């Protein structure tokens, strides 16, 4: 690859694709595809109890932090804001980050750059680059597959092997539940830490594994527990956080690194909370005590299907594992696939029952989806089973099949998916309630634990349970009577248990805050019913910028 003629003096604009996102438009926005993690694919059937928040575009934040060229970052721009930035400042390089669903927006952004800033080199990166034949769909100069920090460093003539500097990232923004926007105070939200990209397990449908090399491969930004510990200490003091969202596809798989991190945490008396992604086989490498001492408080686990044969599930009794984790205060987010090859209209209900029977705190359901770039996509293409007329904007696993399934029709795939979300909600109640249940279990088990770091963590978490969350339980108990009386009774029992632990504060908050929350939850239900959606704010951040002027 040729280095840019201006090297690290080149002025760079990095941008995510433009919004709005949660509405149908000709560029590929879809109302069912908001820029929200939980509401998009986890709690979307939970009405006003759905957990709502936005997440920044971490890939370009990582790139910006790791180049020495003057660089602006535009996150969630409107088309107008993107055009304005191109005309108010001169850019030698415009980098656009996108995933596959947003390829129509990338096409439009390339068109805008050519028109408004014809001298700029256009670089497109992120998962969109995995679309076969993308070169002919968009007018870009470089399409970058895989890891982007090293690519951009190479292109600017910088040292691609220099250590990775981690930006201080607040994980979620504008959190909203039951119609209330939670106050955004410093340290109140977890920091995102990205130790690696990719996953060596190489499941056939997995797009992140495939994009960074596939089976046996991944890219580590921080090899050792010591490196990770140092990064976390720096971010702890910059953002004043105790809690980290660890964005690593399979954090617990790397046991040596995790155990060294634990050693350092113990030496330094760090009472941190870690939310991680991990596969069942990786979790099984640890005792519950090790997980708890490491601060694991939330785990996102692929359950796929009770009859799936993925290596990561081999030998694991998922029901027992998810129960055990919850009994130790670890919130579990399960992820199940609808429409696997063995699914039929006759057995799918049974599989959904089994999945919801795990009673995880959160449950994501996704359609089995051959995504461009994955082994599954190739397999389906070879078998001639890909549906030709599906828009890329609709290939994301939350709408309908993009392939010919042996037993399930395209329309039924959506019906089964929607049913799974609804059944989980109806059978298990709002995730907010389930989280409270797990938090109480953790507190009761660990409040007298010998390690003060662990006691401190559970005490920190339970504070919310004894106050605001108890008011939320009071509301959920009332509102859920209309959905499922027996779940409402379970919520009531939990509320009583919380009130036994915190007799004064919990009761007072339920009595005073409860009615206000009830009013706001109902108002939110009305708003949602009338089509209200939420959009993230636009961010513009400059780095090394003064040297550019």
Give the residue, chosen from 13, 46, 59, 250, that forms a contact with ligand B12 under the rule CB under 6 A.
59
Q: Which does 171 bind (CB under 5 to 8 A by kind): ligand SF4, ligand B12, none?
A: none
**Range list of β-strands (E), 27-88:** 52-54, 71-75
Smallest distance from the beta carbon of 216 to ligand SF4, in angstroms? 11
Pairing label, strands 539-543, 12-16? unpaired
Q: Which does 40 bind (CB under 5 to 8 A by kind): ligand B12, ligand SF4, none?
A: ligand B12
Rg (CA), the chain: 23
Interface residues with ligand SF4 (CB under 6 A) are 199, 201-203, 206, 208-209, 249-250, 279, 302, 312
How many beta carbons lie within 10 A of that of residue 111, not counting itself?
12
Q: Which among 1-9, 132-140, 146-154, 429-437 is the span making contact with ligand B12, rule CB under 6 A? A: 146-154
User: Across the strands, what pairs with 5?
Assistant: none
Closest residue by Cα to residue 428 from 366, 362, 364: 362
Closest residue by Cα to residue 510 from 528, 491, 526: 491
Q: Which does 424 bind (CB under 5 to 8 A by kind): ligand SF4, ligand B12, none?
A: none
Give the residue, chosen from 46, 64, 207, 275, that forms a contact with ligand B12 under the rule CB under 6 A.
207
In the complex with ligand B12, the residue whose CB is nearer, 130 or 276, is 130
Q: Lay out the site mask for ligand B12 across 158-197 (x = CB under 6 A, - = otherwise).
A: ------------------------------------x--x
147 binds ligand B12 (CB under 6 A): yes
The continuous run of DSSP H or E covering 191 comes out as strand 191-193
152 binds ligand B12 (CB under 6 A): yes
Pairing label, strands 52-54, 331-338? unpaired
CA angle, corner 479, sides to 475 and 481, nearest 5? 125
**ω into 53 cis (within 30 of 0):** no
In the complex with ligand SF4, the residue whose CB is nearer, 30 or 312, is 312
Q: Lay out the site mask for ligand B12 across 236-265 (x = CB under 6 A, - = otherwise).
A: -----------x-x----------------
Q: Residue 383 in contact with residue 370, Cβ under 8 Å?
A: no
**In this structure, what DSSP letter does residue 120 have?**
P
Q: Which does 151 bind (CB under 5 to 8 A by kind): ligand B12, ligand SF4, none?
A: ligand B12
The residue assigned the tokens 């539940």 is 177
144 binds ligand B12 (CB under 6 A): yes
The residue assigned the tokens 């609804």 is 422
Q: Which does 176 bind (CB under 5 to 8 A by kind): ligand SF4, ligand B12, none?
A: none
Q: Which among 148-156, 262-270, 410-418, 425-433 is the span making contact with ligand B12, rule CB under 6 A? A: 148-156
126 binds ligand B12 (CB under 6 A): yes
Give the residue, chosen from 371, 408, 454, 498, that forms a contact with ligand B12 under the rule CB under 6 A.
371
Smallest distance from the beta carbon of 219 to ligand SF4, in angstroms? 13
Q: Residue 401 in contact with residue 387, Cβ under 8 Å?
A: yes
Coil, helix or strand at residue 540: strand
Alpha helix (H) residue ranges in 66-206:
79-88, 103-116, 148-155
Q: Which does 99 bind (CB under 5 to 8 A by kind): ligand B12, ligand SF4, none?
A: ligand B12
Kindly give, in sequence order, each residue whose CB lies less than 8 Å from that of residue 270, ignoring residues fewer than 6 positions away.
232, 233, 236, 264, 295, 453
Q: Which does 46 bind (CB under 5 to 8 A by kind): ligand B12, ligand SF4, none?
A: none
Q: In what order do the strands lie in the sheet with 296-304?
A: 169-170, 191-193, 243-246, 273-277, 296-304, 331-338, 362-367
397 binds ligand B12 (CB under 6 A): yes
Smallest distance from the beta carbon of 511 to ligand SF4, in angstroms? 44
Give the residue, chosen from 13, 62, 203, 276, that forms a contact with ligand B12 under the rule CB under 6 A.
62
Q: Which among 176-184, 351-359, 396-404, 523-531 is the span making contact with ligand B12, rule CB under 6 A? A: 396-404
Give the residue, chosen from 10, 11, 13, 41, that forms a contact with ligand B12 under the rule CB under 6 A.
41
Q: Which does 21 bind (CB under 5 to 8 A by kind): ligand B12, ligand SF4, none?
A: ligand B12
Q: Residue 472 in contact with residue 286, Cβ under 8 Å?
A: no
Q: How far apart are CA 92 and CA 94, in angstroms?
A: 7
Q: How far apart are CA 99 and CA 101, in angstroms?
A: 6
In the complex with ligand B12, the residue whose CB is nearer, 419 or 449, is 419
Alpha helix (H) residue ranges in 182-340:
207-211, 225-239, 255-268, 280-283, 288-293, 318-327
Residues of the shown chain interacting with ligand B12 in the complex, contacts defined by CB under 6 A? 16, 21, 33, 35-37, 40-41, 55-60, 62, 95-97, 99-102, 123, 125-127, 130, 144, 147-149, 151-152, 194, 197, 207-208, 247, 249, 371, 396-398
């Amino acid at each position: 690859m040729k280095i840019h003629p201006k090297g690290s003096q080149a002025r760079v604009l990095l941008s995510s694709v433009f919004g709005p996102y949660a509405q149908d438009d000709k560029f590929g926005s879809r109302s069912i595809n908001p820029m929200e993690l939980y509401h998009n694919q986890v709690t979307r059937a939970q009405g006003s109890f759905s957990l709502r928040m936005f997440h920044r575009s971490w890939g370009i934040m990582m790139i910006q932090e790791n180049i020495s060229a003057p660089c602006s970052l535009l996150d969630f721009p409107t088309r107008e804001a993107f055009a304005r930035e191109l005309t108010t400042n001169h850019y030698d390089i415009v980098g656009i980050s996108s995933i596959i669903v947003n390829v129509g927006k990338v096409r439009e952004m390339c068109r805008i750059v050519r028109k408004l800033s014809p001298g700029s080199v256009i670089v497109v990166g992120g998962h969109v680059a995995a679309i076969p034949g993308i070169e002919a769909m968009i007018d870009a100069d470089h399409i970058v597959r895989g890891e982007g920090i090293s690519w951009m460093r190479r292109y600017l003539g910088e040292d691609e092997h220099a250590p990775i500097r981690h930006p201080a990232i607040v994980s979620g923004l504008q959190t909203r539940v039951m119609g209330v926007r939670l106050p955004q105070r410093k340290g109140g939200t977890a920091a995102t830490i990205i130790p690696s990209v990719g996953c060596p397990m190489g499941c056939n449908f997995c797009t992140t594994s495939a994009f960074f090399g596939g089976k046996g491969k991944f890219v580590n930004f921080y090899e050792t527990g010591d490196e990770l510990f140092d990064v976390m200490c720096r971010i702890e003091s910059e953002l004043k956080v105790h809690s980290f969202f660890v964005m690593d596809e399979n954090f617990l798989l790397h046991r040596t690194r995790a155990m060294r991190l634990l050693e350092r945490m113990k030496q330094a008396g760090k009472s941190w909370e870690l939310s991680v992604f991990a596969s069942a086989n990786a979790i099984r490498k640890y005792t519950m005590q090790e997980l708890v001492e490491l601060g694991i408080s939330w785990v996102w686990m692929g359950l796929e299907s009770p009859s799936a044969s993925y290596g990561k599930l081999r030998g694991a009794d998922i029901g027992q594992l998810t129960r055990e984790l919850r009994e130790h205060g670890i919130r579990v987010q399960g992820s199940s696939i609808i429409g696997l090859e063995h699914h039929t209209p006759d057995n799918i209900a049974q599989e959904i029952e089994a999945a919801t029977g795990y009673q995880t705190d959160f449950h994501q359901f996704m359609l089995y989806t051959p995504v461009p770039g994955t082994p599954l996509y190739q397999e389906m293409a070879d078998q001639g089973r890909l549906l030709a007329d599906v828009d890329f904007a609709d290939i994301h696993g939350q709408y309908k099949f993009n392939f010919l399934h042996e037993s399930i029709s395209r329309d039924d795939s959506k019906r089964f998916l929607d049913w799974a979300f609804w059944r989980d909600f109806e059978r298990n109640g709002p995730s907010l309630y389930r989280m409270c249940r797990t938090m109480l279990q953790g507190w009761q088990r660990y409040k007298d634990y010998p390690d003060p770091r662990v006691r401190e963590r559970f005490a920190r978490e339970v504070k919310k349970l004894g106050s605001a969350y108890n008011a939320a339980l009071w509301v959920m108990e009332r509102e859920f009577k209309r959905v499922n009386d027996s779940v409402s009774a379970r919520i009531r029992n939990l509320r009583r248990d919380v009130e036994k632990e915190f007799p004064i504060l919990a009761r007072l908050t339920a009595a005073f805050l409860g009615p206000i929350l009830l009013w706001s939850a109902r108002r939110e239900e009305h708003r949602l019913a009338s089509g209200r959606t939420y959009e993230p704010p636009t961010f513009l951040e400059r780095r090394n910028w003064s040297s550019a002027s």
